[in-house]
Amino acid sequence: MSSDSQRTAPDPWDIGFGAVTLVGAVLALGLWFPNDIAGAFIEYSPAGKAQPGDAFFPILLASALLVLSVVQLLGAFRSRTERLSLDSGAALTLANLEFLLKFFAIVLTGLAVMYWLGPLTTGALRALGVIDQTYRQLVDTVPYKYLGYVTGGFLMICGMITWAEGQVTRRAVLTVAIVLAASVVIFDLLLSNIQLPPNADY
């Protein structure tokens, strides 16, 4: 292959990923959150104590994504070591589509379990006469409020790690368990005005 058919250039996938993430973060901060989240970034209790508002964590997350997307784009444009040729290009292949399908399968399965496990479990227990409350009435009750979040989160994160490593490892399981336990302590026990997902939707 002649040198004329080759050139060094940024990886278009890196640029595309950074650009899409940047646009999404800007739209979230500029349009979505201001029009969809009623609460402020910081709110005050009746006693005057400052606490995270409804917009606190969404804004932090979107801001972090915005910064990371800018870093991603700067890194992509500075890195010009990727060899592109007329026949190797950045065309979408079946392998790319397979990767995307597996990714979305893991994420959507985890989110579905997270959303539906609590209501389905309480519905089954009601049918058996074990409890007489609905999930809406139990969204702040142990263990029901943890069912979907912990199980769905574990399946999604552990599934991603297992897919990347090609096997289930004790280290991955322990890491996911520690992360989930820490998030429960922070967002459910220490921050009294925050509900674990998806409990705020019920």
Q: Cβ distance 176 to 154 under 8 Å?
A: yes
Q: Give 55's contacts (C-beta < 8 A, 6+ positions apart).
A: 33, 37, 39, 40, 41
81-114: pLDDT as tens digits: 544 444 445 567 888 888 889 989 999 999 999 9
Q: Of the candidates 38, 53, 85, which is a domain's last residue? A: 85
122 lies in the same domain as 194: yes
Q: What percent of the chain has pLDDT over 70?
A: 85
Which strand (E) or helix (H) includes residue 139?
none
114 lies in the same domain as 196: yes
78 lies in the same domain as 143: no
157 lies in the same domain as 190: yes
106 lies in the same domain as 151: yes
127 lies in the same domain as 177: yes
| Block residue for tokens 């399908």 | 101
Beta strand pairing status for 42-44 and 50-52? antiparallel
Q: Of the candidates 85, 107, 134, which is a domain's last residue? A: 85
CA distance 97 to 52: 40
Q: What percent of the chain has pLDDT over 90?
A: 30
* DSSP H helix total and E strand total for the chain: 7, 4
73 lies in the same domain as 117: no
User: Which of 59, 39, 44 minimizes the C-alpha distance to 200?
Assistant: 39
Q: Of the candidates 85, 117, 140, which is a domain's last residue? A: 85
137-178: pLDDT as tens digits: 888 888 999 999 999 999 999 998 898 888 888 988 999 999
Q: Is the dihedral of CA 9, 10, 16, 22 positive or negative?
A: negative
Q: Cβ distance 102 to 163 under 8 Å?
A: yes
62 lies in the same domain as 117: no
Number of domains in the chain: 2
Lowest mean pLDDT of 52-61, 80-89, 103-112, 193-202, name the range.
80-89
114 lies in the same domain as 190: yes
72 lies in the same domain as 115: no
DSSP states of 5-57: GEEEE--HHHHHHHHHHHHHHHHIIIIIHHHH--S-SEEE-TT--EEE-TTHH
110 lies in the same domain as 67: no
Domain that holds residue 180: 94-201
CA atoms within 13 A on the CB side of 141: 11
Instruction: Quote the pLDDT of residue 5.
Output: 41
22 lies in the same domain as 104: no
